[in-house]
Amino acid sequence: MVRKGPCGQTGTVSQGENQWVLHVDLDQFIAAVEVLRRPELAGKPVIVGGRGDPTERAVVSTASYEARAFGVGSGMPLRVAARKVPDAVILPVDSEAYLAASDAVMATLRAQPGATVQVLGWDEAFMGVSTADPETYARGLHDAVLESTSLHCSVGIGDTLVRAKIATGFAKPAGVFRLTVENWLAVMGDRPTIDLWGVGSKVSGRLAKLDITTVAQLAACDPADLVPEFGPKMGPWYAQLGRGDGERTVDDTPWVARGHSRETTYQQDLTEPVQVDEAVRELVARVLEDVIAEGRPVIGLTLKVRYAPFFTKTYARRIAETFDREDVLAQALNLVGKIEPERPIRLLGFRAEMSMPEEARKGHTPTRSGW
């Protein structure tokens, strides 16, 4: 499915001063962590999702290779997955275990000499390294992670963050792949735009309406031509993405959250105002726990409501900086007044936006740092 091995590039190193971006991604991270602590699961179809109960409203977080062979993938309703793989082992999500494993992996990456580490999520990170031989460095990285955590990872090598990130897809499983300006079009040119990091089904569809279906076509287009469809920022940005260009520097500035949110899908739709009131109080309390732990004032609130079956509305409000529990709760309950009565509610979410320290505003974000 994905190409493996060396990319066959020839000639000189393209990077000045041997600076490289590596993207490290753990293989089957969640399933691998579960198998580590229950070795008897090795080789079996393992599905992790929700509370591990396939009769509940929940989706698959990760499926092992054995389960994927049956057509199970992330995001699929747990109920459907269970039907596809009748003898699957279905496990509840155990975030704390994954976080602990993640911390061990990241500590190993940071311990590499001369490395700058930018964490992207539980199971992946960018690394900035200086070396004349990035492939050897990458294999050493795989071995170091395996030795310290018993987990396998794949490593993408690139001259930009975007190329390194996409390269990892060709490195899996447990391999190394290099993607630079020199082989970008040869490797990616004929592929559909949706293969790009940051292009999903909607954007690839809108690009197709402009007769842009491949990465090569996107790379060749005039950025200005995309502005009418995508706006002044996103238009040129998609064109740049098509070329694989973008940020080249790995930034290890600590990440500062813009806000915190909690949301819950109810196993039975809420129909009574009393239930809604109670549910919002509970969400607000959970969000405030996180906010108070950070010690930063709240400046905005958003209430998200999914009316059954699948119609979502958000109600937002900017507020005067406050740190007061009762104040936030009162204003949240005020937003509840906007909810349409008489409609069953399947999901409620609550988000608090926090004030940002001026110097942290530039701090990178976990998922869009390379943009």
Partner DNA sequence: TCTGGGGTCCTAGGACCC
CA angle 263–65–142, rounded 5-degree value: 90
Task: State the first-to-last Cα distance of the chain, in angstroms, to the nearest integer.
Answer: 27
Assess 177 for contact with DNA (CB under 7 A). Answer: no
Could you give the C-alpha distances from 209 to 199, 213, 226, 230, in angstroms and in order? 15, 9, 11, 12
Q: Which residues between 299 and 358 bind DNA (CB under 7 A)?
A: 300, 309-310, 312-318, 338, 346-347, 349, 351
Which lies closer to DNA via its Cβ, residue 24 or residue 131?
Answer: 24
Token digits for 5? Answer: 């091995």
Assess 5 for contact with DNA (CB under 7 A). Answer: no
Which lies closer to DNA via its Cβ, residue 2 or residue 42?
Answer: 2
What does the radius of gyration of the chain's CA atoms come to, in whole angstroms?
Answer: 23
Measured CA to CA, the distance from residue 179 to residue 184 in angstroms comes to 6
User: From the candidates 124, 272, 289, 342, which is the catalytic residue?
Assistant: 124
Token digits for 262? Answer: 């909690």
Measured CA to CA, the distance from residue 111 to residue 113 in angstroms comes to 6
* Residues touching DNA, count (CB under 7 A): 60
124 labelled catalytic: yes
Residues 225-264: x/- map of binding to DNA (CB under 7 A)? -----xxxxxx---------------------xxxxxxxx
Assess 73 for contact with DNA (CB under 7 A). Answer: no
- Of the candidates 28, 25, 19, the one whose C-alpha atom is nearest the C-alpha of residue 141 is 25
Pairing outcome for strands 153-158 and 46-48: unpaired
Which lies closer to DNA via its Cβ, residue 142 or residue 364?
Answer: 364
Q: Which residues between 138 and 167 bind DNA (CB under 7 A)?
A: 165
Preceding amide of 228 cis, omega within 30: no
Residues 33-72: x/- map of binding to DNA (CB under 7 A)? -----------------x------xxx-x-----------
Token digits for 179? Answer: 């993607």
Which lies closer to DNA via its Cβ, residue 310 or residue 341?
Answer: 310
Nearest distance from C-beta of residue 334 to DNA, angstroms: 11
Kindly give the residue spans of alpha helices, DSSP state H, lying in 221-315. Answer: 223-243, 273-294
Q: Give 351's strand partners.
A: 261, 302
Assess 172 for contact with DNA (CB under 7 A). Answer: no
Assess 21 for contact with DNA (CB under 7 A). Answer: no
**Residues catalogued as catalytic:** 124
For DNA, the binding residues (CB under 7 A) are 50, 57-59, 61, 74-75, 77, 79-80, 120-124, 165, 196-204, 230-235, 257-265, 290, 300, 309-310, 312-318, 338, 346-347, 349, 351, 365-368
